[in-house]
């Protein structure tokens, strides 16, 4: 059985486009030590797709909840399951 871990996937483009949660994302996430954990899956001129690795599903749900409580729209931040082989390739499984 493949090892499974979890991550919070953040659609930075959505945050920048909507301006909802923008201050929280830029000031409380990107400027803090948690930003060292961020893995960028895609980058573009209007933002990127970020992945914040978590120890388990509960931590990922907590991080997602914390972000949505501080203004980031729920459709811009999701909990994703990552299989070990996908993790090695930098891919995120759906679900």
Helix (H) or strand (E) holding 39: strand 39-44
CA angle at 52 for the pair 16 and 39, rounded to the nearest 5°? 80
Q: 10 with 70: CB under 8 angstroms?
A: no
Residue 84 has a pLDDT of: 67
pLDDT band per the 50, 70, 90 thresholds, residue 1: very low
Q: What pLDDT is attached to residue 93?
A: 42
* Ordered domains of the chain (ranges, CATH): 4-89 (3.30.70)
pTM above 0.75, yes or no: yes
Closest listed residue to residue 42, CA positions, set 74, 2, 10: 10
Mean of all residue pLDDT scores within the chain: 84
Which residues, 6+ apart, have CB-to-CB distance to 23 below 8 Å?
71
9-53 pLDDT, tens per residue? 999 999 999 988 999 999 888 888 777 788 999 988 888 999 999
Q: Are 8 and 51 in contact (CB under 8 A)?
A: yes
Choice among 1-10, 39-48, 85-94 with the minimum mean pLDDT: 85-94
């Amino acid at each position: 059985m493949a090892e499974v871990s979890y991550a919070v996937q953040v659609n930075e483009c959505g945050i920048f486009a909507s301006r909802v949660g923008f201050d929280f994302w830029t000031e409380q996430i990107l400027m803090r030590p948690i930003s060292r954990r961020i893995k960028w899956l895609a980058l573009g001129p209007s933002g990127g797709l970020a992945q914040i690795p978590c120890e388990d599903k509960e931590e990922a749900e907590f991080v997602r909840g914390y972000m949505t409580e501080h203004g980031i729209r729920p459709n811009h931040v999701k909990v994703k399951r990552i299989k070990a082989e996908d993790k090695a390739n930098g891919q995120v499984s759906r679900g």
